[in-house]
Amino acid sequence: MVERRTVNPYVTGSSPVGGAKFLFLMLLFIFNIFYYLFFDEIRLMTKIITSIKIRRPDDCHVHFRDGNILKLIVPYTSKFFGRAIIMPNLIKPIISINQAISYRKRIIRAIPSEHLFTPLMTFYLTDMSETKIIEDGFNQKVFIACKLYLNKVTTNSKYGVSNITNLYPVFSTMERIGMPLLIHGEVTNNNIDIFDREAYFIDQIMEPIRNNFPNLKIVFEHITTKEAVQYILSNNENIVATITPQHLMFNRNHMLVNGIKPHLYCLPILKSNIHRTALREAITTDCKRFFLGTDTAPHTQNKKESACGCAGIFNAPTALAAYATVFNEMNAMENFEAFCSLNGAKFYGLPVNNGFIELKRKKIIFNNKISKDKNNLIPFLLHKNIKWEINVI
C-alpha cells in the first residue's frame, strides 16, 4: 500500500513550488503594507511639476551698465520682473543724488511701454562717502540701499573701500534710518586664494560690522559657499542673502574641465560642489532670508573671450527658467514663489508686486544671441534646453 502524504503549499520546504508560492505571497503582503503606508509620500516626492503660477518676481541684484548696452538689455529684465535693485558700479559710480536720478531716467527710457517695471537705485560707497547725501537720498526715496565693494574686488570697483572703519559713521546712520547695506562679500588680499575669499570676508569684515552695528540691515549678496549659508542660518532677520542661478546650477569643474568656459566666469567665482550643494539645500528650507538676485552682468563677447576675460554672466534672459529647474530638481517648488517674489519684498519693506507670471515645463532650446551694432552678448545657457516657457498673465 502506498502511503499518502498531504502537502501544505504554504509551508516552506514542502515542495519547490509551494516554497516559491509562499515567498511570493509574503512579498505581496509586504508590498501592500508599504504601498498604503508610504504611497502618498512617494507620490509627492516624485511629482512632476508641469506648470506653476507665481506673483511677479523681483530681481534684487542687477547690473544694467550704461549707454547702448543698457538700451539693449533692460527689456530682458523688465519683461518678467516687477522691480530690480540696480547696482551703482558704473565706470563713473553713482555717488550723488543727481547721478542716481539721471541714471534712473536712462533706465526708464529703455523700458518697453508694455512692461510694468520699476528700477530701484543704490549708492556706491567710497572711503569719502558723506552721511548727509546718503540720508537725504534715502529720505527722498532716491536710494533704496547702499552698496559696499572693497577696492578692486570686481568690475568697476576701483573706487571701492580700502579701510572699512572709514565707513563706520555711515553705517551708524544707515542703522538709525533703517537703510540696507548690500555687500559684495570677498576680501581682496592677493595672498588669499580666490576660492576662499568669501569665507575670509565673513571673519575679517562681516563679523566686525555685525558686532558694531547689530541692527544694521545687511544683504550678503550672491553667496557662494557653505560658510555663507551657515552664517545666514545662524543669525537673525537683519542679515539676508541673494543667490544666483549660476551658483545653484554649476560648480568650478563646469567652468574649468575640458577647456575654460569664459561665459561661466563671474565673481564671486564658481566654487566646488560641496558649496553648490549647500546653496541648493538652503533654498529647500523654510528660511525667508534667501531670495532671488541674478547678478546679471553683461560684457560683450570680445571682452569675455579674451586673454584677460571680464567677470560677469548675462543671465537675465534665462534666469527664471534656471531657478525653476533647480527648485524642481530639489523637489522644492513650494518655496519657489517665496524665493522669487515674497522674501526680497518683505526685507526691503515693499508691497508684493501686482500681476503674475506662469512657467510651463516645455523643451526650449535657447539659441538667441543678443546683438546690436558691435555689442554681441552671449547669454547664460545659450544653446541649452532651458526647460521652461515663461509668460506674463
Separation of alpha carbons 349 and 85, rounded Å: 13
- Residue 300 burial class via C-beta count within 10 angstroms: exposed 0-12, middle 13-18, buried 19 and up: middle
Q: What is the DSSP string of 235-281?
A: S-TTEEEEE-HHHHH--HHHHHTTS--GGG--SSPP--HHHHHHHHH
Contact 210, 228 (CB under 8 A): no
Q: Is the dihedral of CA 315, 316, 320, 323 positive or negative?
A: positive
Separation of alpha carbons 378 and 68, rounded Å: 16
What Å distances lie between residue 226 and 36, 202, 233, CA to CA?
Answer: 38, 12, 11
Residue 145: closest CA among 220, 226, 252: 220
The dihedrals phi and psi of 351, each to the nearest 5 degrees, come to: -70, 155
Residue 295 bears catalytic tag = yes
Question: Coil, strand, or helix at residue 371?
Answer: strand
Question: Coil, strand, or helix at residue 352?
Answer: coil
Contact 88, 124 (CB under 8 A): yes
Separation of alpha carbons 315 and 294, rounded Å: 7
Cell of 114: 508694455
One of 66, 127, 196, 295 is an active-site residue; which one?
295
Mention every residue, 6+ apart, whose C-beta is less than 8 A from residue 105: none
Cell of 211: 558686532
The dihedrals phi and psi of 184, each to the nearest 5 degrees, come to: -85, 105
Mention every residue, 6+ apart, whose C-beta is less than 8 A from residue 161: 125, 126, 127, 148, 149, 150, 151, 167
Q: Give catalytic residue positions.
A: 295
